[in-house]
Amino acid sequence: MTRGPEIANRGFVPKRDGIADCGSRNADSRDPSDLCARSAWSDLPRDMDSLVYPLAPCALQVSPSAFPGADNSPTCCIRDNPRSAIRNPQCCFRPGAIFIATLWIILVLAGMVLALAQAMRVEAACSANYASVQKAMAVEQGAIQYVLACVDGLDGEAPTDANSPTDGLIIGNGMFWIIRPNFDNELQPDYGIVDEASKINISTADQEVLELLPRMTREDAAAIVDWRDSDEGLTSGGAESTFYMTMPDPYRCKNAPFETVEELLLVRGMLPEMLYGEDTNRNGMLDENENDGDESDPPDNADGVLDRGIYDLVTVYSSEGSSTGSSGSSSGSGAVDVNSASSDQLRQAFRNNISEGRIEEVVARTRTMRPFRNVFDFYFRVELTYDEFKLLANDVTANPRSSRGSSSRSSLRRGLININTAPRDVLICLPTIGDAEADAIIDRRASRTDDEGLAWVVQALPQENAVEIGSIVTSRSYQFSADIVSVSSDGRAFRRCRVVVDARESPPRVVFRRDLTGLGWPLDPQILTELRNGADMESVIDETITAREIR
């Protein structure tokens, strides 16, 4: 398909004798003397019967011979009948090609400008998003420092919501929340720093305790025990290297304590469903996709209840004291072991807590009746009064391993469960603790005072139950975790990470950090929407607090 006729059809030629006749010349020539319209604009007639555009250089025109059927007569359109160039499309080729070419160039340039503008728009959006991500990351770093400051110097106490608010805090150009699972209401978020001692330590817990965790079978618990114990001897129902080496991707059994909770996924039978349950985004709440069956990931039973995994109930970090025995402020370093202390040491320990007239009697009963299984056993068998025990409980220990001879040099005690903070799901995993005992513990600890330590347990439980759990509970916590959600002030970027900090020494240090941003935004999506629409951070925080109170 040719363009010649079309161009010629649009061509106009001036009705003027002085203008060169294109048809009489070689149209393919590039000789400047061949210009068809050498006359100046000023020479052109102004009446509308003639036209208007000067002729283009013939060199730009296509040879008429290129258009079969065209009239190649030299007088076709200029001298004899200029208007025929308009009426007869087959007449000689016309110089309006410049106009067309210009239009094309303008179109191309316009297209380039549009493409460039679009690219710039994308670049600007990317730059703004990148800046927002940097802000969110900076807020996250600030939040980690905030957590370290909150747990520093607590000397075993857990931070409270009152002295360490975590529900929407503004830092610079962003804000953050520290979320935690809400065991009482899975439709609402909960906020706060989690005390790791409120969980069951999978590196130290007995098989019987592990078996009571949700979804856990006897074989699963045995496999966990085999994974962490140092030998290759098979626990009944468990799995050692002989099993793991037969897997398609073989590896050896670790035979050492767990380093992270996620390491459980390497243990036989431990699937992500068991670890995280239906709460695949790990926000502790029942999200829409976690209650719609197989309509969307994850698969769930759509029963309106969040079937939790064990992730929020277990830990690998809880420990007290230090392996060197010089733990400074850590609990246990200054406590007297009633199973091994001399009479003078016992008198010294009891002096401030027991009346003068009772001291010798208590010392004598202690020496006669020891060893004790734990401090609760000491309380019941020595027949202390509750007031005496309340004052003594934090100053004495009863370590069965040192019932003879001096106290162990190491004061490190791993995996004790803080009975002051453990959730109900953890309490019912403790030996001899059923629903009734767990309720009794929760009721009594609600009214406990700070000076009671863990002494109040002897009032909440019968002797048998208290003595059974006495060796694995504590009233102190030194490791804390925080699930930090940070967002930039414009709502364009957010970050989420989980950190674990160890506060046995000051300043505390971060012992674990994992980025969870890939799990998505864990809070109400309306927060991001409002920030993106320009709402200020204070009003967004106020609205979320109000909405939660209304619910």
CB of 239 to Ca ion, least distance (A): 9
CB of 237 to Ca ion, least distance (A): 13
The C-alpha angle 126, 534, 121, rounded to 5 degrees, equals 25
Q: Is 166 helix (H, G, I), strand (E, B) or coil?
A: coil
Q: Which of residues 31-50 bind Ca ion (CB under 5 A)?
A: none
The residue type found at 49 is D
Which of 292, 439, 524, 543 is in the footprint of Ca ion by CB under 5 A? 292
Q: Could you please report the per-residue DSSP string of 342-358?
A: -HHHHHHHHTTTS-HHH
CB of 118 to Ca ion, least distance (A): 38
Per-residue binding letters, 265-284, with Ca ion (x by CB under 5 A)? -------------xx-x-x-
CB of 459 to Ca ion, least distance (A): 37
Contact 253, 244 (CB under 8 A): yes
CB of 109 to Ca ion, least distance (A): 52
Binding window for Ca ion (CB under 5 A); candidates: 73-81, 112-120, 201-209, 249-257: 249-257
Contact 354, 392 (CB under 8 A): yes
CB of 302 to Ca ion, least distance (A): 7
Instruction: Please compute Rg for the chain using Cα positions.
Output: 42
Per-residue binding letters, 178-217, with Ca ion (x by CB under 5 A)? ----------------------------------------
The C-alpha atoms of residue 438 and residue 460 are separated, in whole angstroms, by: 9
Q: Which of residues 90-129 bind Ca ion (CB under 5 A)?
A: none
Which C-beta is closer to Ca ion: that of 81 or that of 255? 255
Q: Could you please report the per-residue DSSP string of 197-252?
A: GGSEETTT--HHHHHTSTT--HHHHHHHHHHHSSS-PPPTT---HHHHTTSSS---
CB of 517 to Ca ion, least distance (A): 15
Which C-beta is closer to Ca ion: that of 71 or that of 229? 229
C-alpha closest to that of 40 among 27, 50, 55, 25: 55
Q: Is 229 among the residues that bind Ca ion (CB under 5 A)?
A: yes
Q: Per the structure block, which two tokens stand in for 343?
A: 């009479």
Binding window for Ca ion (CB under 5 A); candidates: 180-188, 219-227, 460-468, 530-538: 219-227
Binding window for Ca ion (CB under 5 A); candidates: 65-73, 96-104, 220-228, 396-404: 220-228
The C-alpha atoms of residue 308 and residue 290 are separated, in whole angstroms, by: 11
Which of 140, 186, 195, 300 is in the footprint of Ca ion by CB under 5 A? 300
Which of 26, 73, 260, 301 is in the footprint of Ca ion by CB under 5 A? 301
Number of residues that bind Ca ion (CB under 5 A): 17
Query: Cα dihedral angle (367, 400, 218, 209), rounded to 10 degrees?
Result: 70
Q: Which of residues 511-540 bind Ca ion (CB under 5 A)?
A: none
Q: Which of residues 303-332 bind Ca ion (CB under 5 A)?
A: 303, 305, 307
Query: Which position has the token pair 């969307």?
Result: 296
Q: Is 157 among the residues that bind Ca ion (CB under 5 A)?
A: no
Local structure of residue 57 (DSSP, 8 states): B
CB of 394 to Ca ion, least distance (A): 36
Q: Computed from CA positions of residues 269, 271, 275, 279, in that sequence, does the dihedral angle turn out positive or negative?
A: negative
Which C-beta is closer to Ca ion: that of 287 or that of 452? 287
Which C-beta is closer to Ca ion: that of 283 or that of 418? 283
CB of 303 to Ca ion, least distance (A): 5
Q: Is 443 among the residues that bind Ca ion (CB under 5 A)?
A: no
Local structure of residue 407 (DSSP, 8 states): P
CB atoms within 10 A of CB 59: 16
C-alpha closest to that of 226 among 248, 246, 242: 242
Contact 107, 33 (CB under 8 A): no
HSE-up (13 A, CA, CB side) for residue 145: 7
Which of 90, 182, 255, 403 is in the footprint of Ca ion by CB under 5 A? 255
Which C-beta is closer to Ca ion: that of 255 or that of 402? 255
Which residues here bind Ca ion, judged by CB under 5 A? 226, 229, 255, 278-279, 281, 283, 285, 287, 289, 292, 296, 300-301, 303, 305, 307
